[in-house]
Amino acid sequence: MANEKNLRPARTKKEARQRGANGGKASGKARRERKAMQELAKIILNTPVEGKPEELDDIEAMCFEDFPDKHLTVGERSLFAVAKKAQKGDIQALTFLRDTAGEKPVEKLEVSGDVEKAAANIQAMIAAEKEKG
């Protein structure tokens, strides 16, 4: 976490440019990793399943054919573990998979009330504070 003690200001424009480039590269890498996780969650959710949930022990084996290489990260293997739980009826696991796949429903919040009256009250409070000082 950044604070005044561990911040090092750039000494030259070249150094500042290099730090910016490094940050951009790191940001791109993180974005690609998130996208890969999202794609994997979509594949898992769209994988056809045959049989009863208690008969399905290895969802990971079912999904391996969708990948050119079988070297998965801890995060990717964790998605398979969550998928196993979701298959057995765990609603929280299914919600996690859905959200990770980018299919979270939009939450809408409707605000109602007399906007003009509220604006007038705010303006009156601002005017009163200005008079005080």
- Rounded-to-integer distance, Cα 57 and Cα 126, Å: 65
pTM comes to 0.54
Q: Per residue in 16-67, pLDDT tens?
A: 889 889 999 999 999 998 898 899 889 888 887 776 655 555 555 555 555 5
The predicted-structure confidence for 94-128, as pLDDT tens digits, reads as follows 999 999 998 888 777 777 778 888 888 999 999 99
- Amino acid making up residue 104: K
CA dihedral angle for residue 82, residue 86, residue 92, residue 95, rounded to 10 degrees? 90
CA angle 56, 61, 62 (to 5 degrees): 70
